[in-house]
Structure 1
Amino acid sequence: MGFTIGGIREMRPGSWRRGRTAGATAVAEYTGLRGWAVAPGARAVSGVCSCGDAACPAPGAHPLDFADEVPAGASLQAAADAWARVPGASMLLPVGRTFDVLDVAEAAGRRALARMERMGLPLGPVTVTPTGRTQFFVAPGAAAGLPGLLYRMGWDDADLDLRALGPGSHITAPPSDLAGLGPVRWLRAPVPDTAATPPQARLLLGTLAYICHRW
């Protein structure tokens, strides 16, 4: 099944081939080097989702229901073959397998990240989205355990702009576009030591909650 979004047909053939190769290489890096599966995702143009549903509740921010994931460990050739079947797709990472996500406002996340680095806390990858959110990769189980962790740390009654994403969620992977608003970027890029084994949420949650409460 084909997949196009507005503007792709106007691209020169050479530039499209280069774009497709770059996309396949990025997918292969995620699957082969990071150990993450990648799901082909919809794109949005002027608020209209490429999935074709005029009433789509998440334009440009959900997996394509007709496209298979590229599994963790896939080779460059396998990634290229898979991505050739979904030209124009964005890269989405399934949450709840290798990692969960702690999601906070960008300003608070940047401040918390700087403090964590000064404190020498273990850190995994961190992204920033064009919607003004920072996403900290943490060990799986954070979403299910967040209420209990906040309770034990004394933050359960606080009004915190902090949430956890777990199984069933997807996040947009850099450098893909999110909902037509711009690319997702790395604040802290993945490294081999932490990509597959991000830190436990409890190690970061105290600092994140404190900064979110003050911000």
Structure 2
Amino acid sequence: MSATFGGRSGRQGKLSQWLRGRRTSPTADTGGREELLLAAAAAGLPLAPAAHPAPGYRCSCDRVGCPTPARHPVSFAWQTQSTTDHAQIERWARHQQQANFITATGMVHDVLDVPLEAGRQALRRLLDSGVEVGPVAESDDGRLLFFTLTRGTPEDEDEWWPCELDCHPETMDEHPGLRWHCRGSYVLVPPARLPGDDDQQVRWVRGLEHALPDPLSLLEALTDACARHAHEETDHAGTGWPLRH
């Protein structure tokens, strides 16, 4: 499945045809939310409904002290619930008009999730070097999300390639630098809203028309940028304020 995902032909060709059809459809969502969600599904990203912001930096789940407000799935069965079925996603989007959506990683795609400034540096370096970069989303909470092909889901667990960068929802705080969302994890898919006084969002900065790359083709640039970012933050933390020249 992952071998054809993001190819210039096949699934990506069908996505382009689908997008052209949606632009002329009289039933297209004028606000763009439903269209973007269906485009994500057409590109193969499995989706499930998520919580949304509530007044006072709260989460719609009403859990006291929710650790990830507006950033988590509504259902505990999100992994089996996640789907690319357009009819189901339309029903969810129309009956849960404030809901964010997550995309489950490790099925057909992974996400390399890095601090915003490090990600921007790496993105410029990759593009300048002619490296194929896939869809990229920017989150106003300070992260840049690089969507890639998945490493796969082998039936034989001995074939699974473990990685110290693997990130799951319950281990997010342990990965302030590079997070690798694969099996058992998820990320918000644009468009999504974040809690806060400002209109904070998750948005595409490179769209789904870009083919998904192999994650290893991005990894060196991302890890280097994260290392430089961490070093700069350490230097700034040790500098007295105000700065003296």
Category of TM-score, reference length = shorter chain: 0.7 to 0.9
SS at match of 1:184: strand
1:71 aligns with 2:96: no
The corresponding residue for 1:127 is 137
The corresponding residue for 1:60 is 70
1:141 aligns with 2:130: no
One-letter amino acid of the counterpart of residue 116, structure 2: E
User: What are the within-5 Å matches in structure 2 for residues 1-215 of structure 1?
Assistant: 22-31=32-41, 33-45=42-54, 46-65=56-75, 69=81, 71-72=83-84, 74-75=85-86, 77-141=87-151, 145-147=162-164, 161-180=177-196, 182-191=200-209, 194=211, 198-215=212-229
> Identity percentage over the alignment?
29
RMSD after superposition: 2.9
Aligned positions, number: 181
Q: Is the 8 A contact 2:71 2:194 kept in 1?
A: yes
Offset at residue 59 of structure 1 (A): 1.2
Q: Is the 8 A contact 1:102 1:138 kept in 2?
A: yes
SS at match of 2:89: helix
Once the two structures are overlaid, the 10-residue window that deviates more, 172-181 or 53-62, is: 172-181
Offset at residue 67 of structure 1 (A): 8.6
One-letter amino acid of the counterpart of residue 191, structure 2: P
Once the two structures are overlaid, the 10-residue window that deviates more, 96-105 or 160-169, is: 160-169
Distance 1:206 1:83, change over 3 A: same
The corresponding residue for 2:171 is none
TM-score with structure 2 setting the length: 0.64
The corresponding residue for 1:14 is none
TM superposition outliers: structure 1 runs of 4+ over 3 Å: 18-23, 66-70, 142-148
Offset at residue 85 of structure 1 (A): 2.9
Q: Is the 8 A contact 1:160 1:213 kept in 2?
A: no
Can you give the 5+ residue segments of structure 2 that lack an aligned partner in the other structure?
Answer: 1-27, 153-159, 166-174, 230-245
Can you give the 5+ residue segments of structure 1 that lack an aligned partner in the other structure?
Answer: 1-17, 149-158
Q: What whole-Å deviation, never above 9, does each CA across 1:93-151 have from its counterpart, x for those lacking one?
A: 11111211111111110011011011111211111111111111122138954449xxx
Distance between the aligned counterparts of 1:136 and 1:167, measured in 2?
16
TM-score with structure 1 setting the length: 0.72
